[in-house]
């Protein structure tokens, strides 16, 4: 009889994926433990496999509490909560789920952009409150033909850029390294991109290097007629500076899917009509979540059959 690898699951996963993991592995639910630290001290040595999510990640302490750990498979593309350096030093393979969610995340970026700029949700509330009977809804701003600046020209940024061409938008971008295979102009600085853009869409990776990349200076450069869209990571934006810019009218509006301290959303944003707030759902479609689950499993199967994960976060 084949002995199943002992797998530690540190976060809730879609039910279908949990069922498939349980069929192939000897799964223990760390998230269900009343005292996870005590459990790890007593049982952590027995697990060679860890499955987590981008929002929960794998800290240095967790990785070190699993001395037999050989592979991590993460459900998501965010890497800011995965201690990749510790994993690399320990020789632990790390898989994640890129590419399969690009299209849906890009769709959400445009849904947010269209909503906040054309004031769709605000107009919906206007109708529901019965205010249409008292007069017309205020004018909104045109989307087509406006300048879109993309922060991060990676997998998702490229799909957003492709979408924008259908709206006849000039595209420019900023990233730490040039994307040599795209036709869009790379700006010399993030401030310069914000000054140029009507819409600034954040699609960069998270992590310590990107923390508060969008700060008060960038928001001031975006200006009173500019809109900010974030489908990346909440930590990329200085949330205090963003709230101040929105409340004071220093930028026109924002569409946000992610926040610094999820699920906590700054109270000051809840009453603003020039902000559209989503609960971190950019990749939340049935099709994408199934594809992500498939890749979580494929990463593990590839590691145990060939010695490497299919989609490595360490490359």
How many CB atoms within 10 Å of residue 264? 10
Using alpha carbons, select from 280, 307, 301, 260 the residue that is nearest to residue 76.
280
Task: Find the catalytic residue in 233, 239, 260, 289.
Answer: 233
Residues 33, 39, 45, 47, Cα dihedral to 10°? -10
CA 47 to chain centre: 28
Asked whether 296 and 290 are in contact (CB, 8 A), the reply is no
CA torsion angle 38 39 40 46 (round to 10): 150
Q: Measured between alpha carbons, how far is 311 from 124 in angstroms, rounded to an integer? A: 42
Per the annotation, the verdict on 5 as an active-site residue is: no
Q: Could you give the count of Cα atoms lying within 13 Å of 84 in the half-sphere of its Cβ?
A: 16
60 close to 39: Cβ distance less than 8 angstroms: no
Output DSSP code: residue 135.
Answer: S
From residue 185, alpha-carbon distances to 110, 171, 194, 235 in Å are 21, 7, 14, 26
Active site residue 280: yes
Select which of 85, 209, 262, 287 is catalytic: 262
d(CA 24, CA 19): 9
262 is catalytic: yes
Active site residues: 233, 262, 280
């Amino acid at each position: 009889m084949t002995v199943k690898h002992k797998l530690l699951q540190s976060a809730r996963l879609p039910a279908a994926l949990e069922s498939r993991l349980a069929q192939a592995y000897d799964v223990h639910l760390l998230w269900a433990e009343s005292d996870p630290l005590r459990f790890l001290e007593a049982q952590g040595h027995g697990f060679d496999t860890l499955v987590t999510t981008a929002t929960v990640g794998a800290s240095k302490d967790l990785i070190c509490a699993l001395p037999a750990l050989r592979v991590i498979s993460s459900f998501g593309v965010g890497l800011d909560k995965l201690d990749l350096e510790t994993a690399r030093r320990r020789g632990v393979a790390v898989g994640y789920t890129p590419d399969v969610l690009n299209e849906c995340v890009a769709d959400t970026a445009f849904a947010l952009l269209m909503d906040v700029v054309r004031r769709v949700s605000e107009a919906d509330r206007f109708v529901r409150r019965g205010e249409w009977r008292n007069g017309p809804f205020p004018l909104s701003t045109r989307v087509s033909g406006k300048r879109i600046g993309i922060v991060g020209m990676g997998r998702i940024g490229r799909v957003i850029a492709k979408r924008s061409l259908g709206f006849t938008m000039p595209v420019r971008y900023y990233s730490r390294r040039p994307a040599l295979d795209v036709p869009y102009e790379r700006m010399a600085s993030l401030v310069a991109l914000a000054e140029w853009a009507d819409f600034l869409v954040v699609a960069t990776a998270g992590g310590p290097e990107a923390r508060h990349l969008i700060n008060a200076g960038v928001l001031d450069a975006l200006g009173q007629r500019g809109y900010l869209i974030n489908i990346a990571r909440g930590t990329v934006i200085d949330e205090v500076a963003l709230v101040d810019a929105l409340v004071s009218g220093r930028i026109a509006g924002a569409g946000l899917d992610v926040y610094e301290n999820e699920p906590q959303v700054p109270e000051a944003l809840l009453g603003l009509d020039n902000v559209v707030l989503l609960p971190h759902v950019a990749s939340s479609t049935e099709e994408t979540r199934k594809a992500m689950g498939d890749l979580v499993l494929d990463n593990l199967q590839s590691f145990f059959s060939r010695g490497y994960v299919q989609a490595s976060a360490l490359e």
